[in-house]
A and B are shown apart, each in its own frame.
Chain A
């Protein structure tokens, strides 16, 4: 029989043995993690349960922001040509001690090199075990970007890149770059059970893994050796509760103190509840309608602009987002650096839109609007959005049909350069870098892939490419501001909305910060 520390703590307190009760925070998480090795997966639910709790990275996003700050690396420098990035590691970082592992040394350069080798070196046993399926590492093109990783000394690691890449450091703050213990994984290899690394994780993070009851609960306890000091709470429990309505009931009953992803329709009621605080913040995301700029008549910017002016975006925010969002005028969210606030959005003006369509010689236009079949953080209801667009467009004489496919099929077909129609889709940022929106979603490389408007416009692409090679954030921001001007002139998308993220938690919880990148971290959280 095994009980949690809390149960033991309560039992002991009843006997009058311990004066202080252990503090336990219960988080009603929305789903089961796929595993505990963050390098293998891409789902936020898995990252919350692994990288955010158990692990650290070389650098991290400053809590509540997308700014990159030191973590395991206390500082870093970039060579003048941008090809070498050198990290100076802290010397006081220790891996967790659990009943399945006791570290014999502090974290050093070997662990950092191991972390990346296992995701890119075909001879690494962990690479072989996973068949190289490190999807996030691969999709960020890290393998092509990193030429070599050199150990300068025990606490200095140098990354040599194949080309200058400004977002590289921010990439290392992402979940897949969580630092693994070489000593632990070697030990598992020696014991012939390397796959245990995915079930019994060891990291350096604020909480250490205690156990996982599949689909029911994950338990953690505060890591006493954490390099930023032990957490104010002693135990952390993820109570897996997939239904949003049930999470809300649990929060009200006090069975958990924090819940993610409330139903938008419940938020107002929650805000009126005296026991519950509802934190809110603009999410780092965008929802858009992407025209296929390679198909007539959508190859003409004036036609795209006219359609944008025919669609009443505020009505969509009111009806579909129920106020939990704001109209988007740029392809990147306002909280991101490089956001060009001087841009004027194309105002809703059906009469002018109709005139512009006539001037462009477009008559009796028939078009398809693609509505996603699923709810995403940036889009609560694409079908309803498409219906509103349909009725707006009919007022300017455009006959729009709504089409949809199963989600996987939708993603695939919408990438096709010969696709017929405009697609509703969106994006949530990975690393807080504007390149992660402008480059991935609108760059020439993305045509036939993540660039759903199939838009390859040289003046825009040149700016994006150039910004990638610069090191100074200020200079990069200027280029991105210009790029947003070009974007607005050319209008490959109708930028629809940036949604608001809500985080209901009980009044007694303090210190929780909403992560604009969509993760959930309990570092620094306390219960009063």
Chain B
């Protein structure tokens, strides 16, 4: 198992180097120049431009800048934001828990609804229920996040007044961050009202962000359930006279879960990508909103640092999924 782990880890190294190159090149390939954007309509004198350029280190060759970026990266230093002048690492870490909290709630929503829905659809294959679940999940899968978010806000927040429009917690509460998770921090602070408020603010964004993963999980659960249901050992189990419930839950679902777990793992990248849009709609103070701001200001260090960190997180999660997979199914290790 340990060897399996090492092999997987070693495979990540070239991927990671590739990611640093892409992240470094991406923001520089986008047309646009942070200094010109800052100066706006007024413009900037050539001398002042040159001065700022050298201060920011952009007058050096791209190779030198890239190596400098790599060197900093190895020391855990991603440089300072061009806009706020604060270390990119600090800026990222102060916002990442908000994104993680939202993603976890979205994932929980997707699994809690998606898994049973998939099982039901498989069991009732070809029936109306199956068609309904698959129809709804296809719709959910094709839902543009921005439009879906606004639609829910208009219905539940503006018209019905059930949920808040946007934000992370009511402005009445001010919770000192300890873990960065608003739900946990409000509990640590012993403030029950703040805890409820933070849950209240999580409802709509979690649903919006969780919709696509929900659809994917439901569909994957259904197809892998159907596959397993056709296996010989399921027929054997039925022939033994086991109850239908036991055949489905123990013999089928458990084996079907292997591929579902992989799919859930793959959702992490999707969730982080979806979080960017969801956070923009719901004014959620996470890394998505931060990245969008950084890209529009051409804040090179923030964009390249943020991309590398996000890619790193996705890679680690995938590694963990691979490992979990190895635990569930020992044949994979070889």
A binds B: yes
Residues on A lying within 8 angstroms of B by beta carbon are 1-4, 6-7, 10, 24, 26, 31-32, 34-35, 42, 131, 133, 135, 138-139, 195, 198, 211, 213-217, 219, 237, 239-243, 245-246, 249-250, 252-253, 255, 405-409, 411-412, 415, 425-427, 440, 449-450
Interface residue ranges of B103-131 to A (CB < 8 Å):
none
What's the dominant secondary structure at chain A's contact region? mixed
Contact yes or no, B171 A408, CB < 8 A: no
How distant is the Cα of A253 from the Cα of B162 in the complex, in angstroms? 10
Contact yes or no, A1 B191, CB < 8 A: yes
Contact yes or no, B166 A214, CB < 8 A: no
Contact yes or no, B280 A32, CB < 8 A: no
Interface size class of B (residues with CB under 8 A): 35 or more
A427 and B290 contact, Cβ closer than 8 Å, known pairs A240-B283, A255-B165: no
Q: Which one of A2, A10, A24 contacts B176 once the chains associate, using CB atoms below 8 Å?
A: A2
Q: Which one of A7, A195, A211, A214 contacts B94 once the chains associate, using CB atoms below 8 Å?
A: A214
Contact yes or no, A246 B282, CB < 8 A: yes
Contact yes or no, A255 B40, CB < 8 A: no
**How far does the Cβ of B54 sit from chain A's closest Cβ, in whole Å?**
10
Contact yes or no, B37 A407, CB < 8 A: yes
Contact yes or no, A3 B289, CB < 8 A: no
Q: Which residues of A are found within 8 Å of B167, using beta-carbon distances?
A: 216-217, 239, 241, 255
**How far does the Cβ of A496 sit from chain B's closest Cβ, in whole Å?**
15
A409 and B36 contact, Cβ closer than 8 Å, known pairs A239-B283, A415-B43, A440-B42: yes
A411 and B150 contact, Cβ closer than 8 Å, known pairs A32-B293, A215-B285: no
Contact yes or no, B42 A139, CB < 8 A: yes
Q: Which one of B30, B40, B84 contacts A34 once the chains associate, using CB atoms below 8 Å?
A: B84
**How far does the Cβ of B192 sit from chain A's closest Cβ, in whole Å?**
12
A408 and B298 contact, Cβ closer than 8 Å, known pairs A6-B172, A243-B281, A246-B282: yes
How distant is the Cα of A245 from the Cα of B166 in the complex, in angstroms? 11
Interface residue ranges of B142-183 to A (CB < 8 Å):
150, 153-154, 157-158, 161, 164-168, 171-176
Residues on B lying within 8 angstroms of A by beta carbon are 30-45, 48, 52, 55, 83-85, 91, 94-95, 150, 153-154, 157-158, 161, 164-168, 171-176, 189-191, 280-283, 285-286, 289-290, 293, 298
Contact yes or no, B95 A214, CB < 8 A: yes
**How far does the Cβ of B304 sit from chain A's closest Cβ, in whole Å?**
18
Closest to A131 in B: B55
Q: Which residues of B are found within 8 Å of A133, using beta-carbon distances?
A: 52, 55
Q: Which residues of A are found within 8 Å of B166, using beta-carbon distances?
A: 241, 246, 249-250, 255
A139 and B283 contact, Cβ closer than 8 Å, known pairs A1-B189, A214-B94, A215-B290: no
Contact yes or no, B157 A237, CB < 8 A: no
Contact yes or no, B172 A450, CB < 8 A: no
The 9 A-B pairs of least Cβ separation, nearest first, read: A408-B36, A406-B31, A215-B285, A1-B189, A216-B285, A7-B172, A408-B33, A250-B165, A408-B32
Q: List 29 A-B contacts (CB under 8 A).
A: A1-B176, A1-B189, A2-B176, A3-B172, A42-B40, A133-B52, A133-B55, A213-B285, A214-B95, A215-B290, A216-B167, A217-B167, A237-B171, A240-B283, A241-B283, A243-B280, A243-B281, A249-B153, A249-B158, A253-B161, A253-B164, A405-B31, A406-B32, A408-B32, A408-B35, A409-B32, A411-B41, A415-B43, A450-B42
Closest to B193 in A: A7
Contact yes or no, A426 B42, CB < 8 A: no
Q: Which residues of B are found within 8 Å of A245, using beta-carbon distances?
A: 150
How distant is the Cα of A159 from the Cα of B10 in the complex, in angstroms? 66
How distant is the Cα of A415 from the Cα of B43 in the complex, in angstroms? 8
How distant is the Cα of A208 from the Cα of B293 in the complex, in angstroms? 26
How distant is the Cα of A397 from the Cα of B36 in the complex, in angstroms? 36
How distant is the Cα of A382 from the Cα of B88 in the complex, in angstroms? 35
Closest to B41 in A: A427
Q: Which residues of A are found within 8 Å of B33, using beta-carbon distances?
A: 408-409, 412
Contact yes or no, B164 A255, CB < 8 A: yes
**How far does the Cβ of A445 sit from chain B's closest Cβ, in whole Å?**
11
Q: Which one of B39, B173, B189 contacts A135 once the chains associate, using CB atoms below 8 Å?
A: B39
Q: Which residues of A are found within 8 Å of B285, using beta-carbon distances?
A: 213-216, 240
Contact yes or no, B157 A249, CB < 8 A: yes
Contact yes or no, A253 B157, CB < 8 A: yes
**How far does the Cβ of A53 sit from chain B's closest Cβ, in whole Å?**
16
Contact yes or no, B36 A10, CB < 8 A: no
Contact yes or no, B176 A411, CB < 8 A: no
**How far does the Cβ of B151 sit from chain A's closest Cβ, in whole Å?**
11
Closest to B297 in A: A34
Q: Which residues of B are found within 8 Å of A405, using beta-carbon distances?
A: 31
Q: Which residues of A are found within 8 Å of B34, using beta-carbon distances?
A: 408
Contact yes or no, B43 A449, CB < 8 A: yes
How distant is the Cα of A65 from the Cα of B243 in the complex, in angstroms? 81
Contact yes or no, B283 A216, CB < 8 A: yes
Q: Which one of A213, A217, A408 contacts B31 once the chains associate, using CB atoms below 8 Å?
A: A408
How distant is the Cα of A309 from the Cα of B82 in the complex, in angstroms? 45
How distant is the Cα of A139 from the Cα of B45 in the complex, in angstroms? 9
How distant is the Cα of A243 from the Cα of B41 in the complex, in angstroms? 24
Q: Which residues of B are found within 8 Å of A408, using beta-carbon distances?
A: 31-37, 298
**How far does the Cβ of A273 sit from chain B's closest Cβ, in whole Å?**
11
**How far does the Cβ of B193 sit from chain A's closest Cβ, in whole Å?**
9
Question: By CB atoms of chain B within 10 A, which of A26, A216, A237, A427 has the most?
Answer: A216
Q: Which residues of A are found within 8 Å of B282, using beta-carbon distances?
A: 246
Q: Which residues of A are found within 8 Å of B85, using beta-carbon distances?
A: 35, 195, 198
Apart from A215-B285, A216-B285, A243-B281, what 19 extra A-B contacts exist at CB < 8 Å?
A1-B189, A3-B191, A4-B173, A131-B55, A213-B285, A215-B95, A215-B283, A216-B167, A217-B167, A239-B167, A240-B285, A242-B280, A245-B150, A246-B281, A249-B166, A253-B158, A255-B164, A406-B31, A408-B298
How distant is the Cα of A408 from the Cα of B37 in the complex, in angstroms? 5
**How far does the Cβ of B47 sit from chain A's closest Cβ, in whole Å?**
11
Q: Which residues of A are found within 8 Å of B52, using beta-carbon distances?
A: 133
How distant is the Cα of A14 from the Cα of B285 in the complex, in angstroms? 31
Q: Which residues of B are found within 8 Å of A24, using beta-carbon distances?
A: 171
Contact yes or no, A425 B38, CB < 8 A: no
Q: Which residues of B are found within 8 Å of A139, using beta-carbon distances?
A: 39, 42, 44
Q: Which residues of B are found within 8 Å of A449, using beta-carbon distances?
A: 43, 45
How distant is the Cα of A437 from the Cα of B318 in the complex, in angstroms? 57
Q: Which one of B41, B95, B293 contacts A426 once the chains associate, using CB atoms below 8 Å?
A: B41
How distant is the Cα of A412 from the Cα of B46 in the complex, in angstroms? 11
How distant is the Cα of A456 from the Cα of B19 in the complex, in angstroms? 50
Contact yes or no, A2 B174, CB < 8 A: yes
Contact yes or no, B30 A135, CB < 8 A: no
Q: Which residues of A are found within 8 Å of B298, using beta-carbon distances?
A: 408
Q: Which residues of B are found within 8 Å of A1, using beta-carbon distances?
A: 175-176, 189-191
Q: Which residues of B are found within 8 Å of A427, using beta-carbon distances?
A: 41
